[in-house]
Structure 1
Amino acid sequence: MIDYTSLYLSPTILFPDYQNMLISFKIYIYTPPNALSLSSPTESNFFTCLQTSPFVTQNPEEAHLYFVPFSSNLSTRSVARFIRGLRMEFPYWNRTLGADHFYVSCACLGYESDRNLVELKKNSVQISRCPVPEGRFVPHKDITFPPLANITRALQSQGNRTAKYLGFVRYNGVKESNLVNELRNDSDFLIESEPSSGMTLVGRLGSSVFCLFEYGADVSGIGEALRFGCVPVVVVDRPMLDLPLMDVIRWQKIAIFVGSRGGVKEVKRVLDPVRFVSYGDVSALAQAARY
């Protein structure tokens, strides 16, 4: 029986599997071809956590997965050369043509003609950042990082929050869309026109019921919204296949999804009925409001 109230898609399967993973799961990290240089803080954080995790083994024979580390600025030719070296030095790549290997690349790899890159892109698991550049995500195998919250200061209890605005739209450094320009003219929405300090952002999150993110722009602030009780609203006009951990988490319980084509009128139609509802019920009611 499916538990639709759970945050997880299959809690009866996930939790036993997770406990078993903590005991037996092993990852072997190949030695990078040169000093590893990761330009993205997300990539660096991932690699640091991986290196210090209990899953790492020095014995490749007992590994379930193999991590292929390469620098963010490494050329595709150099990556291909690295894979070719792994193929010749170790037996593990050839056993599955890279299907039990994974790598991290926030920029994402494109499609190349070199056999080594073709196998890496087609077979290995790519870990990237949401949203992924169009055409560079393979839904049945690739995964994305959950957005990280950069603000560490604790906010007062949610019971003391005073929601002055229906929604908050954070400046993302890109050209603003027609929807954002519409929202700017509506007093129910707070638009951040310039990047703010952490303390200012905490105040804006605390004074807004919802935080709007346009898919395709920077949605990393979802992590901060969740931390401070501001319900994420993802504005997107097509199904999202690259949501973080979407094979595990029921995102409809976390965020609200609304299209942009109806403009501010459609956004308010979805959000207005649930602005005074507790966080735990907001997403479900807003999803129902769309239909």
Structure 2
Amino acid sequence: MEPKGGDSGGMMPDSIRSEVAFWALPPDEALLYAKREIEHAPLVSDDPDLHAPVFLNLSVFKRSYELMERILKIYIYPDGSRPIFHTPELQGIYASEGWFMKLIEESRRFVVKDPEKAHLFYLPYSSRRLRDAIYRPGSHNLRPLAIFLRDYVNTISSKYPFWNRTGGSDHFLVACHDWGPYSTTLHAELRKNAIKALCNADTSEGIFVRGKDVSLPETTIKAPKKPLKYVGGKRVSQRPILAFYAGLMHGRVRPTLEKLWGNDTGGDIRIFRRLPNRVSRNMSYVEHMKSSRFCICPMGYEVNSPRIVEAIHYGCVPVIIADNFVLPFEEILNWSSFSVVLPEKDIAELKNVLLSIPLRRYLRMQECVRRVQRHFLWHARPEKYDLFHVILHSIWYSRLNQIQNASL
């Protein structure tokens, strides 16, 4: 949604629009009001709380976020048995879905008990818990997970009237496990209409719908009581390593990296299957990231990688290698300002690409990494513009973009 100048298309003057009692409007009318307000967002070129270069359109984001805070109300279905429902997983690489579940269920600002007042409806399940409870190890059969979720949606659509009013288009789920997309495939409306916030945001499989679904950042949480542990980085002058990666070598991208630069401990690009003891004794994995100018974030079996957010946390410019991957919050963030996206076919040119970036441009990118970091942080009590709020904003923004002005 791009801001437009002046009052056009029969819109009421700003002085009147600002007095609209949006809290008294029916949910659909409130969303339409918000969409029109965002289309006429006042120009913002600078803001003390937001770094303009990391946004595609700061004016649109700022106005949309303000309206989300003032208007958005969510109903959380109480149905579903633990641990699959209402039991957040707060540790590990799939913790994004758990942290969002925890914080939204604790929210007094956004959650309502009366579903008639809700603009969005949350399906509070954990794809990680679903896998643990339903999947039979070694079977390679994900169908039972999809059957379970299909039956759950059928239950709420028969018990409540809300799903059937929109075919599920005002409902959303948040799933970070790699198998999250595949668990939606047996319910046509869930797959097609509902807003799916997924870490595995792969456009090549026909499940993730760009422009409707939301790319969820995959965040590694090692200490749930201290989600910000290790966050921080070093100055550029203290980053002698050009680029770094260490981890498993599965998928189609990582073995090529290993073949080209594997275990070259003294090279500009350092690629490890795992850090050798002789290396880790002197510098840990985290210290390697904090001592590197670029951190390589290659896809594994799936397109997503927790290293993207790790790099941002440690002040390292991420180098993302994963075709068909929709980057988190691509509808608001200007990823070219703080990352390098390299096509898989150009892996052999990685070193040349990185060395060709002038120092002045790199310094700007690294500053943008530092400034965008606040939007990728979990807090036990959510803070303005943090990861919880930006995920919620993307879901809100997606719903607004589905609304046609003439339809309400």
Task: State the TM bucket, normalised to the shorter chain.
Answer: 0.7 to 0.9
1:185-220, Cα deviation, whole Å (9 max, x unpaired): 5811122332679x7122201221111122345521
Q: Is the contact made by 1:168 and 1:208 (CA closer than 8 Å) also made in structure 2?
A: yes
Cα distance change, pair 216–156 in 1 and its aligned pair in 2 (3 A): closer
Give 2:404's aligned residue.
Answer: none
Q: Is the contact made by 2:312 and 2:318 (CA closer than 8 Å) also made in structure 1?
A: yes
Q: Is the contact made by 1:166 and 1:188 (CA closer than 8 Å) also made in structure 2?
A: yes
1:231-250 to 2 correspondence within 5 Å?
Answer: 231-236=317-322, 238=323, 240=325, 242-250=326-334
> How far is the alpha carbon of 1:17 from its aligned partner?
1.7
1:178 maps onto 2:225 in alignment: no
**Superposition RMSD in Å:** 3.1
| CA–CA distance in structure 2, aligned partners of residues 202 and 91 of structure 1 | 49
1:152 maps onto 2:224 in alignment: no
> How far is the alpha carbon of 1:101 from its aligned partner?
0.3
Is the deviation greater in 201-210 or in 172-181? Answer: 172-181
| CA–CA distance in structure 2, aligned partners of residues 228 and 45 of structure 1 | 20
Structure 1: stretches of 5+ with no match in the other structure: 284-291
1:150-199, Cα deviation, whole Å (9 max, x unpaired): 4613546526x5222211012135264223320225811122332679x7
| CA–CA distance in structure 1, aligned partners of residues 79 and 246 of structure 2 | 38
> How far is the alpha carbon of 1:278 from its aligned partner?
5.9
Q: Is the contact made by 2:234 and 2:315 (CA closer than 8 Å) also made in structure 1?
A: no
1:51 maps onto 2:135 in alignment: no
Bigger fraction of residues in helix = 2
Structure 2: stretches of 5+ with no match in the other structure: 4-42, 46-51, 135-144, 222-227, 367-408
| CA–CA distance in structure 2, aligned partners of residues 84 and 156 of structure 1 | 48
1:218-229 to 2 correspondence within 5 Å?
Answer: 219-229=305-315
Structure 1 length normalisation: TM-score?
0.82
**Match 2:274 to one of 190, 194, 215:** 194
| CA–CA distance in structure 2, aligned partners of residues 89 and 259 of structure 1 | 47
SS across alignment from 1:191: strand
> How far is the alpha carbon of 1:259 from its aligned partner?
2.7
1:108 maps onto 2:184 in alignment: no
| CA–CA distance in structure 1, aligned partners of residues 69 and 185 of structure 2 | 38
| CA–CA distance in structure 1, aligned partners of residues 58 and 185 of structure 2 | 41
Bigger fraction of residues in strand = 1
Percent identical residues:
25
Give 2:167's aligned residue.
Answer: 97
1:53-92 to 2 correspondence within 5 Å?
Answer: 53=107, 54-72=109-127, 73=130, 75-92=145-162
| CA–CA distance in structure 1, aligned partners of residues 354 and 272 of structure 2 | 19
Cα distance change, pair 51–71 in 1 and its aligned pair in 2 (3 A): same
